[in-house]
Chains A and B, each alone.
Chain A
Amino acid sequence: NAGVTQTPKFRVLKTGQSMTLLCAQDMNHEYMYWYRQDPGMGLRLIHYSVGEGTTAKGEVPDGYNVSRLKKQNFLLGLESAAPSQTSVYFCASSSTGTTEAFFGQGTRLTVV
């Protein structure tokens, strides 16, 4: 099993450009999450989904959108990238809302 796979691993964007980060999990998990990690700070939740077709806002949702059209995929979109969105993005999934989360390897995004 691959677990949680994120695409791409690295990306450099210019301010104002858009992009989509893809997260795929092969564990048949219901719950999926997008976090960002900045130096000296804990991971912060951007958006999450408790099942196919559902999404909800996390702690820092502004500037991001998400979609969960298929159970195994969770997409994170940046419509107009800003330097403040330079970060490492992690996708995670869990089978229920009270069990451990499995994380992807991360996407390092730089916005210049």
Chain B
Amino acid sequence: SQKIEQNSEALNIQEGKTATLTCNYTNYSPAYLQWYRQDPGRGPVFLLLIRENEKEKRKERLKVTFDTTLKQSLFHITASQPADSATYLCALDTSGGYNKLIFGAGTRLAVHP
């Protein structure tokens, strides 16, 4: 079965530093991978989508890489701020075009002033 692993431990970093979150997957070759942010008591909010033929994608302070050989995606937040504190979810489409997403359990990021 499909398996997505994200850092289970919370990630604590100092304001201004770069946060790096990891998403590893097995048993599938997804056409694309998505990252979402989730705040307590709220629904996930889309951040970035990266396709299998893209090595890297950027949006403002966010950067995502996608290594289909390693079956891994890295999510970076540069110049982190306390407002970036949230849980970040990695998701893969397993259906080849129906957006049937499988989510990792998420990594909780805490940015300290």
Residues of B bordering A, CB below 8 Å = 4, 31-32, 34, 36, 41-46, 49, 89, 91, 93, 95, 97-106
Contacts and interface: CB of A to CB of B under 8 A. Distances in A.
Majority-rule SS of A interface residues: loop
Contacts of A40: 105
Contact of B99 (A33, A42, A59, A103): A33
A97 B99 contact: yes
B42 A31 contact: no
Contact of B100 (A45, A96, A99, A104): A45
10 contacts: A42-B104, A43-B91, A45-B101, A94-B99, A98-B97, A99-B49, A100-B46, A101-B99, A105-B42, A106-B42
A102 interface: yes
Contact of B45 (A31, A103, A106): A103
Contacts of B45: 103
Residue of B4, B43, B89, B98 most packed against chain A (CB within 10 A): B43
Contacts of B41: 106
Interface in A73-112: 90, 92, 94, 96-106
Nearest to B43: A103
A92 to B, nearest CB: 8
Given A43-B44, A106-B41, A106-B42, A58 B100 contact: yes
Contacts of B4: 42
Contacts of A106: 41-43
A31 B98 contact: yes
A103 B46 CA distance: 9
A33 B101 CA distance: 10
Nearest to A95: B99
A42 B103 contact: yes
A74 B26 CA distance: 31
